[in-house]
Structure 1
Amino acid sequence: MALVDYAASEGVALLTLSDPPANTYTHEMMKELDAAILKARFDADVHVLVITGQGEKFFCAGANIGMLREADPTFKYYFCLHANETLSRLEHTPKLCIAALNGHTVGGGLEIALACDLRIGRRGAGKIGLPEVALGVLPGTGGTQRLARAVGGSRAIQMMCEGKTFDFDAAQGYGLLNEVWDTPSHQDFMKRVLEYARGFAPPGRAALAVGRIKRAVQTGLEVGLEQGLALERELQAELFASEDAREGLAAYVEKRKPSFQGK
């Protein structure tokens, strides 16, 4: 049985972490997630990725503790290295990625969500946080770095050292979540997330521009201003040469709605 279910439709690839009850990840799941990210990256018909968890209780509760307890230190090191590479691959993919937080999002689960561009939670669905300190370890799949970039260094240190979890509304207040939605059911939540994701795909939105905005921000935040501006110019030049830019400019002049193709 697949540990990451993959389904693509109408420009959106849905990647579902599937190892109930808590959707904890092993090296096998990370390898499947890595492959799914690459599949979506190479699919010209996919413009947006959505990552969620199977069921209604957990997005992901992080790494499988039983696996880590039995593994030797060398395996643990390479397990963390590959998990970091997988999430970096997600971040580097020039397609928008949305984390649909359908349930508890803790430990490595939050680290996966932090590697996504947008995070949307279902109100009342669960808790969120990085409680690894209670195990005597730190968040080792990018948590110390991405959380600090999301909420600031001092707040991140406090969150991780206290190891507390909090609800999605509090997380939105901290800047961890972009949206928290009231939906009657899990099915309604996922339907709304997928509808939202399709809004970033053609024909209504220039997906190439969306992807390059993502790349400009993701890389630009890690370099100096001058290097970031240089990257921005290169990405803009690439977009100016695209069919979508020609369509967008023509539609503006002709006072009509553009119809983008993602090309």
Structure 2
Amino acid sequence: MALVDYATSAGVALLTLNDPPVNGYTHEMMKDLDAAILEARFDNDVHVIVITGHGEKFFCAGANINMLRESDPTFKYYFCLHANETLSRLEHTPKLCIAALNGHTVGGGLEIAMACDLRIARKGAGKVGLPEVALGVLPGTGGTQRLARLIGKSRAIQLMCEGQTFDFETALAVGLINDVWETASHDEFMDRILAYSHTFTLPDRAALAVGRIKRAVQTGFEVGLEQGLALERELQAELFTSEDAREGLAAYMEKRKPVFQGK
């Protein structure tokens, strides 16, 4: 049985971490997530990737502790390496990725969410944090690096060394997540997430441009300004040759709504 459910709808791929009750990830789940990311990457009809957790209580509680306790150091190393590669693959895919935080998002679960471009949480559904210090280890699936880049070095060190978990409103205030939505139910939250995701798809939004905005920021942020500007110019030159750019410019001049095709 797959540990990551995969479904598509009108340009959006929905990836659901599915290992109740806490959706903790094993190497098997990470391999399924890796495969799902690649499937969405190669699908020309997919423009947005949404990642969420099964059920109403957990997005993901992080790595499966029993798996880590029973495995040897060599397995642990390669497990972390593959998890890093998987999340980097998600981050480098030039399609917008949204983490729908439907419940508690802690440890490696938050590390998965931080590899997404946007993080939107359901109000009151759970807490977030990187409490690995309580286990005598550090957040080893990109947590130390991505958290510092999102909220700054000093605050990141504080949160990880204290091992705090905190509510979504606090996460919003420190810049860790993008928005908190109040909804009557989990189903309403997911319906709203998918509706929001569809605003980034064809024909109303230039999905090629969205993907390259993501790529320019995700890659350019990690290099010097001059290299980032060079990447930006190359991506812009690529977009200028697209039919969507011609359509966008023509629609602006003709004072009409553009119809994008992803070409």
Pairwise TM-score range, normalised by the shorter structure: over 0.9
Matched with 1:59 is 59
Tell me how far apart the structure 1 counterparts of residues 126 and 160 of structure 2 sit (CA, whole Å): 18
What pairs up with 1:82-93 in 2 under 5 angstroms?
82-93=82-93
Matched with 2:154 is 154
Tell me the TM-score normalised to structure 2 length: 1.00
Deviations 1:39-70 (A, max 9, x none): 00000000000000000000000000000000
Deviations 1:136-163 (A, max 9, x none): 0000000000000000000000000000
Q: Does residue 235 of structure 2 align to residue 235 of structure 1?
A: yes
Letter in 1 for 2:55: G
- How far did 1:205 drift? 0.3
What pairs up with 1:47-196 in 2 under 5 angstroms?
47-196=47-196
Tell me how far apart the structure 2 counterparts of residues 80 and 186 of structure 1 sit (CA, whole Å): 31
Deviations 1:213-239 (A, max 9, x none): 000001111111110000000000000
Letter in 2 for 1:162: E
Matched with 1:218 is 218
Deviations 1:180-234 (A, max 9, x none): 0000000000000000000000111000000000000011111111100000000
Gaps of 5+ in 1: none
Secondary structure class of the residue paired with 2:217: helix
Letter in 2 for 1:247: E
Matched with 2:26 is 26
Matched with 1:15 is 15
Matched with 1:261 is 261
* Identical aligned residues as a percent: 83
Tell me the TM-score normalised to structure 1 length: 1.00
Secondary structure class of the residue paired with 2:100: strand
* RMSD between superposed Cα atoms in Å: 0.4
Letter in 1 for 2:223: V
Deviations 1:51-96 (A, max 9, x none): 0000000000000000000000000000000000000000000000
- How far did 1:2 drift? 1.3
Letter in 2 for 1:255: K
Matched with 1:204 is 204
Deviations 1:1-27 (A, max 9, x none): 210000001000000000000000000
Aligned length: 263
Secondary structure class of the residue paired with 1:121: strand
- How far did 1:262 drift? 1.2
Runs of 4+ in 1 over 2 A off after TM superposition: none
Letter in 1 for 2:227: Q
Letter in 2 for 1:153: K
- How far did 1:256 drift? 0.3
